[in-house]
Structure 1
């Protein structure tokens, strides 16, 4: 049975405070509790948009999310309204929010969203790459081996892919993408979206990796074109080349074959045989 409480997932501006809607101001002023990823940034945002937060403000970030979600669930069960807001974008999308949402749904509590700007769809729209079908892959793994395996499994993904990345890891991630997808695969690096120093760099992954070596600052979203399958032997030849690139990057060859065959929807043995014929190795 649905409780009287309500959980509101509030999208925050990704750069410009002027992008907020009047509804955000309203919910911040009327909520019983506002759970913020960074309480100082919340208060700065409230000041910028002329909102006076009427309820209790609590922190809600990665390190305390599990314990805080349980506390906030009890507030919701008491029939109160809880707003979750992160530093930028939508709660639950590479930001805290999923755990509390899951608990609220299980408890039969109303969950609604106050949509706002999204770095994912903003970057996708301005990238110039196909936007009819896409997937969001979040942050690539930090460790090189794990990152190579994850990207290898995406090498035959036909949808446009959107990633987040920290500026100090951008060059390594772009280089790993060039290894997994090919240096000529088209991509766009979107930096500081909607902010004063917004920048979009477009080009092949290899070219972008070289550019990023000089150092990049700010919030980063990377958009990568999907794999374009070609007929017959050319399709297999490209997959074999991707196996070689992943192997050179440190992924075990058998693992690369398995990941790519699964992603491409072909029998693993077919790709294994093609690799063996070309390289003479398993």
Structure 2
């Protein structure tokens, strides 16, 4: 996903409804990762896809206006319909196509907190954005508390909940045989992440989620981030995790000293990382502010 589309997608998530966005120029790009596994990129979260003798299994589904394009891209690979859609969390850039795919017959799956949040109005305080309840047809019909495993297409797809990370309903998906891990929005490749504290997210949870993925990843594991360039690896995830841990530790120290939000922003706590991670939607000052507010909430 390009920087421009990252900005568009996040504005749609955090400020404007999908209907107000122009998706007419979005192309769905598909990259084959293995015999049954694919990466799909468009506008919104990066998608994972497994196609085999058993079923078509889709990880996230971006925005509703893109459902036909996603379906058309899949149709180039198989004549089978999408049977399962797994949401990595509740945000509309990952669940916007749920209603369309659900009505077409797909089984919608997510952590139990995803269904709870999609069933009621949500307010994202950091950007002053309100999300109306999703229609019933968009809600996950299968939910899990800790983990669930799918044995499909000759693969083992382990779905693991990560508490209080990007939100309180995040899931990591490990496609064991394919050696692919889909991180959802726990991992933003080359970007400072948005952590939705209004939805129960915390920087400590994001770091823990990275550690969980790093523990099961090998040097050759392909890692799909929620946003940013769609294909990453263990070394890049480790660098992202270490950046978060370093900046969060600095913010915690300043909060413990009684520093205010403006003082922490002025301290340039992420200075050495800004050139690499701070040029997209979450700029350095907003990143410092977001971490400070998160840490203050947890005191």
Q: Is the TM value for this pair above 0.5? A: no
Per chain length, whose mean CA-contact separation is higher, i.e. which structure has more relative contact order (CA < 8 Å, sep 6+)? 1
- Shorter-chain TM band: 0.3 to 0.5
Could you tell me the TM-score, scaled by structure 2's length?
Answer: 0.33
Structure 1 length-normalised TM: 0.34
Q: Between Structure 1 and Structure 2, which shows a larger proportion of helix residues? A: 1
